Amino acid sequence: MRYWIWLPLACWPLVGMADDAALAQVMRALAAVPAVEATFREEKTLAVLDAPLVATGVLYYRAPDFLRKRTLRPQAEDYEADGHWLTVETPDAGRRQFDLNGYPQLRPFVEAIRAAQAGDQAALERYYQLEFQGTSAAWSLRLTPRAADAQRYVAAIVLRGRNGRIDSMETLEPNGDRGLMTITPR
C-alpha cells in the first residue's frame, strides 16, 4: 500500500515530457503555416476606464518574419514588422520606422506573436519563460518575460490555439490592466 503513495511522485517528470512533446508538435504545426490572413477584435480593459477599449482590424503573417496588424476601427493604425524593422503609422504621428535591434524593449512584444506563429521556440525562449498546457488539438502557451525592462510593461502573454492556429492573445500587465485579442481566420 505504501508504494501507491510514491507512484504519483515517480510519474511527475513524465507530465513535463508530455508537455514538451505536445509543445514541439504545436511548434511544428505553426511552422508549417506559410501565411495567415485573419480578422481580429481586441479589447483592452484598463483600471482608469469604465468600459473596455475595443479595436478591430486585420492581421497578416508571412513566414518567416513578416507580421502586419492593421487596425481599422475605431481609428486607422498600421504596425508592420518585417525582419528587424518595425514600421508604425498612425494619423497623429504619421509614419515612423524603428530598427528592432536598437529598441530591445519593443522586440519581445513583436516576437511574442511573430515567433509563435513561425513556430520558432528558440526565439520565444530568448525573450520568455514558456509554460505550455494542453494538447495540439487545444493548447495554451504562457509567455513570461525574462528581461526586467519588459517585465515593467507586461506580466505575461497567453496565447491560445488549436493545432497550427493561434485563436487568441491575452496580454496581462503588472498593474492589472489586460488586453484580449481574438483572431479569426479569413
Delimit the domains of the chain by residue range.
34-185
pTM equals: 0.86
Give the DSSP per-residue string, 18-82: HHHHHHHHHHHHHHT--EEEEEEEEEEE-TT-SS-EEEEEEEEEETTTEEEEEEEESS-EEEEEE
**Are 37 and 60 within 8 A, CB to CB?**
yes
- State the pLDDT at residue 128: 97
pLDDT score for 10: 46
pLDDT at 48 (0 to 100): 92
For residue 106, the model assigns a pLDDT of 81
Q: Residue 155: helix, strand or coil by DSSP?
A: coil
Per-residue model confidence as pLDDT tens for the chain (186 residues): 455 444 454 444 444 445 789 999 999 999 999 999 999 999 999 999 999 999 999 999 999 999 999 999 999 999 999 999 999 999 999 999 999 988 877 888 899 999 999 999 999 999 999 999 999 899 999 999 999 888 988 999 999 999 899 999 999 999 999 999 999 999
Alpha carbons within 13 A on the beta-carbon side of 97: 5
Mapped onto helix, strand or coil, the DSSP state of residue 90 is strand
Tell me what pLDDT residue 12 has: 44
Q: Domain 34-185 belongs to what architecture?
A: Clam (2.50)
